[in-house]
Each structure stands twice: as C-alpha cells, then as structure tokens.
Amino acid sequence: MKILWICGRLPAPLFSGDALYTAGLLKALVKSDDVSLTVLGVRRTDQDSAGPLLGPAGIRLVEVPAPKSSGLWSLASSLPKDAYTLCTPEFQQELGRLLRRDWDWIVVDHAYSAGALSTILRGRGGASLCYIAHNAEGLIRPKIASGVQNPIRGAATRLDAEKYRRLEHGLLDAADAVVCITSNDAAYFQKFAKRVYVIPPVFLGTPSPRRTISADCPRSLLLLGEFKWIAKQRNLEIIIDALLPPLQRSQVSLNVVGVVPQHIQNRHASLRPYLKFHGRLADPSPLFLSSRGGLVPELFGGGFKLKVMDYAFARLPIFGLTEAMAGTTAEEQSAMFLANNIAGLADAIVENVDNLDRLNECQETLLHLFSNRFSLDTVSTRLGKVFR
C-alpha cells in the first residue's frame, strides 16, 4: 500500500504537541510490512531536519526548506496564515512531482498542511484522502478569537479563524477518512464526515523507573508547554495571575519548561522564586524528579494535551482542569487531581501536595492505565483499520 503523507511542518524537533502526535502516527503506521510511506513536509527551521527521527523507520522523507515569509500577505489570501506560509513554492514543486505517481492514499496531516488542497484534489487520481485532525479548528479558533481584546489583533484573529473553518470544511467534505484524537472532536467531525476514527497518540519515550515521592521532594509543580501561539500565551498569563498567589501563600512553586516570550517572563519577575522559567530543555527529567505534580491548566485550545502522557510516564501525579482532559477516560481522570476552575485547582493543589500516599497511588495507577492505551502496537492496530 503506497501512502503519500503531507505534513506542512515536519515532526522535528519533538517539543510540540503536533510534532509528537504526527511522529507517533508515522512510526505506528510503518510497523506494518505492507506499507510504503513517503512523507513530504516543511522544516520548522533550517536546522530542524526530520531525517534522524524518520529516516531509520523505513520512511522516504522529502524535506523542503523552512518558509521565509512572515505570512503578512495571507491577509489577502483565502488561506489562514499558517497554511499560506507553509505552502511555499518549493513545497508546491515537490508536491506536484509526487502527485505524478500513483498512490493508494494521500494523507493531509493537520489543517495547516492543506494550503495546496485544490492541487491535491486535482492530482489525486484514484487515491483515497485521509485528513489527520489535530484539533477541531472550526470550534476552537473562533472561541480563541472572541477573547482577543486588542481590536486590530482581534479582527485579524477572527478572520484567520474563519479561514481555518472554511479550509477544514473543505477537507472534511473531500476526505474518505478522518482521524482525530478525542471523542469530543469526533462528535463534531461526524456532522460533516462519515468515516471518523479516534486514534490516540503514541508515547515515544521510555517510562521512568519506579519512583516514590517522599517528603524530601520539593513542594513544586511542573508545567510543560510551548507558548509561541497567542492562545497559549494568554492561557499562561491567566494561569499565573490566578494560580500563583494561592500557591505562593502555601509555599508551593511552579517550574515552567518551554519557550516563553521574554515580555511575559519580565512581567512576572516579581514572583520569583515561586515561579521559574526554564526555557526549552533537551532533558527535563531532573525537574520531573524534583516535582510533586504536573500541571494541565489549559482554558483554551481543545484537543488532547500530550503533556498528560509525559507526566504519566514520568510517574508524576497530574493536577489539572477537567475541561483540559479531553481524550482521557473517566477511570484515568479518577487517578488525577482535577477541578472545574482555577480557584478549585488551587485548592486541590494546596490540599493534596503533602498527601504523599495519595500522590504515589495516583502516579502508579495512571502509569498502569496509560501503558497499553498509548503504546505503539495499540495505535498501529487502530491505524490499520483506517487505511484498509
């Protein structure tokens, strides 16, 4: 079976949710001996090649250079900014060359990879089309745009959200199969597409050895993330403003790992040492071992939060908002410390951060529950049903 996999941004480095989900699906798909997989994508930067990640896995990789455009001209285009920016001349040239071959399936991985959708549909021949939906863009982007307070930025964000909605509907209308991460997203997509599959992400790392959280462990929480997207920046600032005062009063600190704009760091400098920004770390394991819990506090963005897997497989108890737990089961949530709002989350942290028995019980239970559901074999079996 010959598959052309189109991902606007190649899954390297593995520091963001979209990269992690894509990399897991690709590795799961090539576990099958009867799959010939060609991946076309744009490098995230000129230095970030996906070759070391995907090359040894039996995948033919076609990389094109990172885009140079800022995306400003997308305002005059029918495409959202990301899709416009990633559809570079080099990308279109390679796509045209690949479309001259015969394919059984063509995969469009993420809505931002569909800048050349019309070209794909004209050149697909007899190939079936699969859309990999990382989020329900038509739902979440209008919600995010409605909360932008700056009038000019708000107008641009609303326009971009509407473009994403239209592009997503075009994908759903053309797709022979749709893959998404959560049942919530599936319920939305089933209004527009017939064959919708929920495929969980793959945990690509190695589970941490047995760990016991003791009184010697610092009274700290860990927040993993990438905060380049305006919605994630806004969410981070809301969380800091609402959560840090009660944590500070209880002498509980928060370590943030990931790229955070300098102006946000400067704004919250007075909260040190209870709030520390560590930037992007190649190996965050020392912070896992020196934390009593991982934080999942997203108010915006939808979809499955892949940091949930990172915490669980690092044997780190999870504190979070219930609405941020899409894609997890009721049984899994029973092994977490959840609340319906930020005030309740602060209370849950303060009440449980010293409950060592409960912390250790939850981290053991959650690792056991996740070990099978997010394995490479499980996802490979599910993907096989999509493409057959």
Model pLDDT for residues 115-125, shown as the tens digit of each residue = 999 999 999 99
pLDDT at 227 exceeding the cut of 90:
no
pLDDT digits (tens, 9 = 90+) for 263-310: 999 999 999 999 999 998 888 899 999 999 999 998 876 678 889 999
Q: What is the pLDDT of residue 205?
A: 86
Q: Is the pLDDT of residue 152 over 90?
A: no
CB 179 within 8 A of CB 199: yes
Per-residue pLDDT reduced to its tens digit, 77-114: 899 999 999 999 999 999 999 999 999 999 999 999 99
- CA gap 261, 323 in Å, rounded: 26
Q: Residue 215: what pLDDT?
A: 96
pLDDT range class, residue 17, cuts 50, 70, 90: confident
> End of a domain among 141, 166, 199?
199
Q: In this model, does residue 226 exceed pLDDT 90? A: no
CA distance 213 to 163: 48
My answer on whether 178 and 266 are in the same domain is: no
Which one, of 309, 282, 316, lies nearest residue 376 by Cα? 309
In a shared domain, residues 241 and 143: no
According to the model, what pLDDT value does residue 233 have?
A: 87
Compute the Cα dihedral for 17, 258, 313, 364 and give only its sign: negative
CATH number at residue 128: 3.40.50.2000
Q: Is the pLDDT of residue 168 over 70?
A: yes
In a domain? residue 378: no
For residues 170 and 28, membership in a common domain is answered with yes
Residue 184 within any structural domain of the chain? yes
186 and 313 assigned to the same domain: no
The contacts of residue 302 (CB under 8 Å, 6+ apart) are 135, 136, 139, 140, 184, 185, 326
Provide the pLDDT for residue 302: 67
Comparing CA positions, the residue from 16, 21, 6 lying closest to residue 383 is: 21
Q: How confident is the model at residue 22 (pLDDT cuts 50, 70, 90)?
A: very high
Say whether both 229 and 276 belong to one domain. yes
In a domain, 212, yes or no: no
Last residue within a domain, chosen from 164, 199, 234: 199
% the chain with pLDDT above 70: 99
**Has residue 63 been placed in a domain?**
yes
The domain in which residue 275 lies consists of 220-373
- The predicted model gives 52-56 an average pLDDT of 85
Same-domain check for residues 111 and 237: no
Which 8-state DSSP code applies to residue 92? H
Q: What is the pLDDT of residue 222?
A: 97
Q: What percent of the chain has pLDDT over 90?
A: 73
Please indicate, yes or no, whether residues 183 and 36 belong to a single structural domain of this protein. yes
Contacts of 182 by beta carbon, 8 Å cutoff, 6+ apart: 198, 303, 304, 326, 327
> Of 165, 199, 233, which residue constitutes the final position of a domain?
199
Q: Does 194 share its domain with 62?
A: yes
- Cα 252 to Cα 156, 222, 244, 261: the distances in Å are 39, 11, 9, 24
* Residues 186 and 233 reside in one and the same domain: no
* pTM to 2 decimal places: 0.85
264 and 188 fall within a common domain? no
Residue 204, domain member (yes or no):
no
Query: Both 185 and 289 in a single domain?
Result: no
> Does 275 fall in a domain?
yes
Domain count, the chain: 2
Q: Answer whether residue 206 is part of any domain.
A: no
Phi, psi of 210 (to 5 degrees): -50, 135
pLDDT at 301 (0 to 100): 61
pLDDT digits (tens, 9 = 90+) for 245-260: 999 999 999 999 999 9
Is the same domain home to 149 and 270?
no
- The neighbour count for residue 67, using CB atoms within 10 Å, is 21
Is residue 211 in a domain?
no
Count CA within 13 A, CB hemisphere, residue 151: 0
- 3 state DSSP class of 198: strand
